[in-house]
Structure 1
Amino acid sequence: MIHYIFYYFFVLLGIIAYIEIKKRYTSSYHHSKILILARRLLIISDYIIAAYGIYLASELKEDTLFNWSILVSAVIILLFYLKMIWALESLGRR
């Protein structure tokens, strides 16, 4: 159970960091090295969090309502994280 709490906590942190970096990238015309490094680290952490969500979803053994809700939320988060990763990588191409 504690694994899921950590997972959702880091998902929320990733979303907050994504919003902050996207806001700073769009408001700044001259990107600093720190902002570029923060964007790259967020992309790496997003991949790790998405992979951990896949791992947690694959560890579900029983067919219960709790497991199905975890699986559905993990798929939704994975799709949202893929969209976030795509948006962060496209910020670097500007």
Structure 2
Amino acid sequence: MYKANKLRMTTVSGFKKELATMNVSEPLLVTQNGEPLYVVQDPVQYEQQQEQMALLKMVGLAERDIREARLLNQEDLFKGLSEEFRDHADND
């Protein structure tokens, strides 16, 4: 089972002081008056997180399609794709 790492924390004033040298290879929770204010993370991590969320959304949509019996067999899928490509080529 996946176990989330505990976020490192700092205050707004601590964040301001250490901004130039701060390591954000792991997400950092910035607090103000003891309450969460921001999460700062590396841009590469952010992109990976966005891709993971998109993949999870697609899996959820696929599971819903299966539950609702919105399925195609391989033959019908390829036939539909061929028609789409043919129609697209005819319009160009």
TM-score by shorter chain over 0.5: no
Higher RCO by CA contacts (8 Å cutoff, separation 6 or greater): 1
Select the structure that is richer in strand: 2
Structure number with bigger Rg? 2
Give the alignment's TM-score, normalised by structure 2: 0.33
Select the structure that is richer in helix: 1
